[in-house]
Amino acid sequence: MKATTITLLAAILLSFKPIDSGTQVSLDDLYAEHGVTISEALTVRDKSSVQKIVTENIDFNEVLTLFPNLQYLEIYNVGDRVPEVVRDLKNLRVLNLGRNYDVKDISEVRDLENLEHLKIKSVSIEELPNSLATLKNLKRIDLSLSSQLKDIVILERLDQLEELDLSECNRIQHFPYEMRSLKKLKLTDLMLYAYMSDVMESPDQLETLEFVGCDDLFIVPPSVRKFKKLKALNLKGNKNLSNIDLVAELTELRELDLSFCHELKALPKSIAYLRNLKSINLTYMHSLEDISVLSKLDNIQSLMISDRSLLEKLPSQADREKLEAITTVLKLPKGGVAYY
């Protein structure tokens, strides 16, 4: 065995720390932890110390139960259905089935009572099964790029669901009427947004809306008024967006991302009503000429731009100095073009 191989294996083994089975690490810490393949995990003496496995080798599925404290599983090439062994992983908190394009059956997740994050992006499912209703602790679900998905009504029975990603899910026909705990929603399709905003009866808890990369969005939709408690609005990559006047009605807004909105020429004067706004991203906006209204925001703490001349165009030295102090300039990448 080569010295480099020995060193790598030693690093893998040292990355595992014995944990108290009663200890619950945060999801953020769990995501940050080093993940290993099943083959590597089998070399660990204390199997209870293994919390995170990332693997493409499904031949070892049956040995997953050797890891009693496994909390994160990322697995690829599973075929058209989730392996049966998954339902025996009672401590699993994160299940990542992303890019398993052929998956049509996810019913085996029904017994994962501690599951908090389910990622099933780019799968071939048309309807979320009723069995998902048993996942009472599920807080996040990523369905992005699942272009065959039509029905997600069952999500209204998940009382703890806080984050939902529907990016590139353009065929959804049945949307939940009620998701009282939902705080973060991401989507890319204007028709889906319009449908969702019409049928959703309780959007009051939504704090983050990411509506990105939609070529059909020309103005901020009037229905955005429904989201009274919205704190973060991401409109990145809506390259035809030219009117954001209604954003001014989101008086609780703290963060606003308008990067890559190429048709927006000036920030409207009504932005001055966003007294709680702390951060705004105006990078890679080809037509933007006027940001003077930002000098009227007393609580603004972070401004991101790509064109320093926007500061030079400000009408007074005081305004320039105020915004200069909080500005980060992101230069164009090598080649001089930034894409979204």
Give 9's pLDDT tier (boundaries 50, 70, 90). very low
Question: Lowest-confidence range among 20-24, 132-136, 306-310?
Answer: 20-24
Q: What is the pLDDT of residue 76?
A: 86
Q: Do 106 and 115 touch, CB atoms closer than 8 A?
A: no
pLDDT in tens, 106-141: 999 999 999 999 999 888 899 999 999 999 999 999
| Among the listed residues 43, 41, 97, the one whose alpha carbon sits nearest the alpha carbon of residue 70 | 41
340 or 75: whose pLDDT is higher? Answer: 75
Name which residue leads in pLDDT, 110 or 27. 110
d(CA 283, CA 338): 10
Residue 246 has pLDDT above 80, yes or no: yes
Cα separation, 123 vs 148, whole angstroms? 8
The pLDDT of 10-24, averaged and rounded, is: 43
Mean pLDDT, the chain, integer = 86
pLDDT bracket for residue 57 (50, 70, 90): low
Domain segments of the chain: what residues?
207-340
pLDDT of 187 > 70? The answer is yes
Tokens of 266: 């000036």
pTM: 0.84
Q: Does the domain spanning 207-340 belong to CATH 3.80.10.10? A: yes
Work out the pLDDT band at 178, boundaries 50, 70, 90.
Answer: confident
More confident residue, 99 or 325: 325
Assigned token pair, 184? 């973060």
- Rounded to an integer, the average pLDDT of 182-192 is 86
**pLDDT, tens only, 73-100:** 998 888 888 888 888 899 999 999 888 8
* pLDDT > 90 in the chain, percent: 56
Which stretch of 2-16, 45-59, 119-133 has the lowest confidence by average pLDDT? 2-16
